[in-house]
Each structure stands twice: as C-alpha cells, then as structure tokens.
A = this chain, B = another copy of it.
Amino acid sequence: MARSVVLPVAPSRGRLRPLGLDEVRITGGFWARRREINATATLGHCRDWMARVGWIGNFRAAVEGRIERDRRGREFADSDVYKLLEAMAWEAAGHGADSALDTQIAELTESIAPAQEPDGYLNTAFGRPGQQPRYSDLEWGHELYCYGHLIQAGVAQARARGEGELTKIARRAADHVCATFGPGGIEGVCGHPEIEPALVELARLTGEQRYLDQAALFVDRRGHRTLADTEFGRAYYQDDLPVRQATVLRGHAVRALYLAAGAVDVAVETGDDALLAAVVRQWEATVARRTYLTGGMGSHHRDESFGDDFVLPPDRAYSETCAGVASVMLSWRLLLATGEPRFADLAERTLFNVVAASPSEDGRAFFYANTLHRRRRGTVPATDVDSPRAESSLRAPWFAVSCCPTNVARTLAQLPAYLATVDDDGVQLHQYADAEIATSLAGGHDVALRVRTDYPAGGAVTVRIDRSPDRPWTLSLRVPGWARGAAAWLVEPDGTRRSVPVGTATVARRFRPGDEVRLELPVAPRWIGADPRIDAVRGTVAVQRGPLVYCAESVDLPDGHEADAVRVDPSSPPEDGPDAEGTVIVAGELTGHAEQSDAPWPYAPLDRPATTPPDTDGPAEIVLVPYRSWANRGPSTMRVWLPTAEPDPPAAPS
C-alpha cells in the first residue's frame, strides 16, 4: 500500500507519519454524527450564506468592474470562500469521484478564477479602480492571509482529487507572493499570519523549494517591527518579538497560533531544531498559564488576544472558535514532530470543548466566542441576519466576521486524519472513535485495525487487528493526562491486564488478525480545581468527565433557577446521571442568589455584609451537562466554574 497523499499536513520528516483520509474512516459515534451534519448541513449552509451576503459575488463584481460599488463583507471575506472550498475538498475525499461536492467546488472555482490578475494577484478588496492599492495596508488588509486560505484549499483539492483548477489558481497566487515578497521584494509580512503554513504545505505538495523558502522568510521577518504600531500594539500581530525569541504566545490568539503552526512546519522541513524548540516552549507556557479548562485560548474581547498570565475570566472568556481550530492545528503539528502525547491531549480537549461547542446540533448556527459563564438569558437571534461576532447568548447562523463556521467545517472534514499515525515501529492511536484504519508499516506491510468504543461516554476502547504483517510491531495508545491518578488498564490479546500510566501505553507483539487490545480509561466524573493564580475562579470547582468539561445550565434547574443559583459540595463525588444523555449529578444547593434583592451598594464591611445570605432550597442534586452541548435548548444561563458553598465569613475585626 503506497503512502497516502490525502493528508492535511504532510511533513517530510518528524517523529510520526500521519495517515490520510483514505486510510482512516470514522464509522460511528460522536464525531461520525458531527461529520455527517457537517457534510449534509454545514457546508451547504455556509455556501448559501456566502452567496446571500455577496461574498461569493465579490469575485464576479471584480471581473465586471463594479467592485468598488458592489463589494460586500469585510476585507477578508474572500478567505471564507476559500475555507469552504477546503472543507468541501476534504469532505469529497470520503466520497466517490464525481460527488455533488465536486460540482460545487468546480462552480465556486469558476466564480473565482476570472478575478485572478495575469500576475497571479487575487483579492477582491484591493487594487482595482476606487480601491486601495495592493499591499498598501499590510497591517489590516489580509491579502496574504487570504492567499494562505486559497493555497490550503488548492492543496486540499490536489490531495483529495489531484491537481485541478483551484490548485492552479493557488500556485499562481503563491508564485506571485514569492515574486512580490521574496528577496528584493517588499520586506513585509501580513498582519494576520496564515500564509506561512500554507506555503509550506504547497512546498510539500509540489516539491518546490521556493515556497518553503518564502514561508521561512515570512517567519523570520516577523517580530522585526515592519508592521505599524497600532492601538493594540505590535504584539497583536506577533511583530513585537522574533518567533525564536518569544517565550509565550501573545496577541491575537488566532494569529499567534497560525504563526506558531507555520513556524513548526518551517522548522520541520528545514531541520531547524532551535525554531521547533522555541515554539514548544511557547506552547508550554501558553498551556500552563493562558488556557481555559476547555482548551480555549484568548480571553480578551477587545483585541481577541491572549491576556496576561492567569487572566482567564469565565464570564468574559473570548475563547474564539477559530483559536480552538488553530490550537488543534498547532498541537497536531507538534505531535507529528515530537510524538509526545501531551499535544494530542490538548487537541482532544480542544476538539471536544471548543471546536465541538461552536456548531449547534443541526450544524446551522455557531458560537464565535465560547464563554464559560453566561449570566443573562439571551434572546433568540433572527435566523436570517448575520450577528455581531462576540455575542455569546445563543449560536447565530452567520456573522459579519464569519471566520468560524468555515473553520469548523474544514476541521470536521479532515478530522479522521487526526486519529492515528504510524512510525517505523507500528501504529499510534491518538484520538478514540469508532474507526477503521488501513495503512502500511515500514517495509510496505499492510496493517488494518478496527477501533470500537463509545468514548467519551464510556472509557473502553477495543482495537481489533484485522490485518497484520507476520512480524512484531507496536500498537501505541494514548492515555490522556486527565486519567492521572485513576488506573487506566490495558488488556492484551493474551489476556494480560496491566495498569498503565498516563502518556503512552504500548503493546508490542507479533499480532494476528482477530487479536484485540483493550484500553480502559477512567472516565468517571471528577471535581477539578484551578491553580490559585487564576483569580477569576477562586472559590469554585468544575467537573470533567473523561475529556469533557461540564456545566450547569438553567434549563436543567428546577423552579426557574438561573445557573448562578448553584452552590456545590465538592466533598461528595460527582456521579453519572441515570439517563443515557451523559449528564452528571453533583450534590449542592440552589440558592435564591440570582434573584435576591439588591443592597444599594454591593460592598460592605465584613461584619455587616451588603446583602443577607440568599435563601436556599436546601440540599439538591444538580444536573450538569457537557459544556459543548449548552445553549441548544433555548435561551439559558450557564456556568462551568461552580461556587462551593460559601464559607463562614471571617470573624469580624473587633
């Protein structure tokens, strides 16, 4: 079996070798359902909206000379058309060669193609009469950013179907970028990183060194203050410090993460271990100090940026969906480069609690920001108008800045590629879902596995070997970091059962078809506390069950209580709910807290509190639901971090 080419990320070296979408199929369970909705609802939803709001029409308007008057959407609107094309291409990889998706891709490509200038330039927001000149606004113009998404779409088409018109458009654009921004050209970078990983991937696809060189040049150029200092500062677009010198991700979260992903790609292709180590160091500091329990990154609404260390307010969490997507992109690249399971841990957390939280259950509405605490019931948004981006009450069908829906779509379309890898020793499973995997090991020996699990509802994962070379090899299974402290068990084909620590569990043997390996992960719900330096959650606890973060949502509380009424008792362990819906029950009480009357001034001496303690309805069992599923049952209030019963106030000073 030849090495697959249907790969979102195809490094030429690194610790692990990724598997293609023709090698891994997700056959059931949560992600299969989500992928089905993505294919049947979300892709069409995005296309219809972009037709309706005019973003697709921008290309024709450009060709017809009426773009100054008729252009719709923000300066980066082109990029969402490209992201949709990328999503369609990866999705098409799982379908027959002449699927309806291919027709849609061809139609969209036909809309775009005539707008490309003879020199390869392609952008509907710049350069035509009445518009700003090309590259006159590298800070905000997003021209290179748009190319990045165009190139990723072109690569997706080439890998899913073979090079087609979209790939050609992308290559012409990339050639234009190299000619314009290469040595002797404009010595600038784009305000929004994204071109970097795209150019590396195009180099991997085509074998053209110049694309890699250009990506490396962009990575090296950044941090040398070629972009203007704006209200948000140069850290906003990571132009404050060279990538090699930075110690933590900072500024706009999506920009920071796309740049880091591109830097890993450059480091891997050029063998630049120092650059790779710099990104790993930044990832470590960011995960330790600037990441929400959900895996969400970026707490600032104002500039969509990371905050200072430990500034992680739940009620003002921004945690942009696209930052979740970008974080998965980065973690995946670091996993391939290093083989370390901590990167797959974060990817799992982020996929389940950020990426999966964004779309509604029907795949036609989305969260842009993913708050961890909602105090006020929202209103049902109109389904026929786009929404402001950061309003976090209910999911909205579309946004004026609508980067998230297509980003979720392309991630779900390529998701099977994130499940497993191979190396010279064997097969590694990183994410667990019902799946079938067929690939080849070193020496060209075919191997096929079938994974069966209801994870994350249950913790048992069974891997059946369907085909195996007649020699020993190693099956590796990730034991998530959250399983620390509770025994994970591995059951080998011969019945050996052993406790395994977090990290990687391995079974090395001469497998035979029909052999089964079983991993048992302790998914029982558990109380989680935070580092006390995260001031915003002092005095609260959260619940996690397996990789899933839970929340209290008002629709599950009796008597019209809001989520802020919940007080929990962490001396009782959380328990699984009696239903099959994945609920968790915790002990606590419901107070009149949210509804209590106000003192005129909410601050008072400790010995005479401003408000009397709220009434309580007495001990209660409180139902929690997975965070990602909240806000699917109408307007509600919600919180992830739950206050413990308030302690007695300290003795009043005499």
Which of A's residues lie within 8 Å of B, judged by CB? 230-233, 284-285, 287-289, 291, 293, 299-302, 307-311, 313-316, 342, 373, 375-376, 388-391, 400, 481, 484-485, 526-536, 538-542, 564, 569-574, 593-594, 596, 598-611, 643-644, 646-647, 649-651, 653-654
Q: Which of B308, B389, B573 contacts A315 (CB 8 A)?
A: B308
User: Once the chains bind, are B309 and A526 in contact (CB under 8 Å)?
Assistant: no
Q: Which of B302, B529, B605 contacts A390 (CB 8 A)?
A: B302
If A375-B308, A481-B601 touch, whether A653 touches B313 (CB-CB below 8 Å) is no
User: Once the chains bind, are B311 and A307 in contact (CB under 8 Å)?
Assistant: no
Q: Which of B311, B484, B538 contacts A608 (CB 8 A)?
A: B484
Give the shortest distance, in Å, between A331 (CB) and chain B (any CB). Answer: 13
Give the shortest distance, in Å, between A613 (CB) and chain B (any CB). Answer: 8
User: Once the chains bind, are A540 and B538 in contact (CB under 8 Å)?
Assistant: yes
If A311-B375, A531-B610, A650-B571 touch, whether A288 touches B601 (CB-CB below 8 Å) is yes
User: Once the chains bind, are A602 and B527 in contact (CB under 8 Å)?
Assistant: no
User: Once the chains bind, are A606 and B539 in contact (CB under 8 Å)?
Assistant: no
User: Once the chains bind, are A531 and B293 in contact (CB under 8 Å)?
Assistant: no
**Chain B residue contacts of A308, Cβ below 8 A:** 315, 375-376
Most buried by B among A532, A564, A606: A532
Known: A484-B605, A532-B611; 6 extra A-B contacts, CB below 8 A, are A301-B302, A302-B390, A481-B601, A535-B536, A574-B653, A644-B650
User: Once the chains bind, are B606 and A535 in contact (CB under 8 Å)?
Assistant: no
**Chain B residue contacts of A532, Cβ below 8 A:** 593, 611, 643, 646
Q: How far is the CA of A388 from the CA of B513 in the complex (A)?
A: 65
26 of the cross-chain contacts (CB-CB < 8 Å) are: A232-B388, A287-B601, A288-B598, A289-B602, A299-B316, A300-B302, A307-B315, A308-B376, A311-B316, A311-B375, A313-B316, A313-B536, A315-B535, A481-B600, A484-B605, A485-B605, A526-B605, A527-B606, A527-B653, A528-B603, A529-B604, A532-B646, A533-B594, A538-B540, A541-B606, A571-B650
Give the shortest distance, in Å, between A556 (CB) and chain B (any CB). Answer: 20
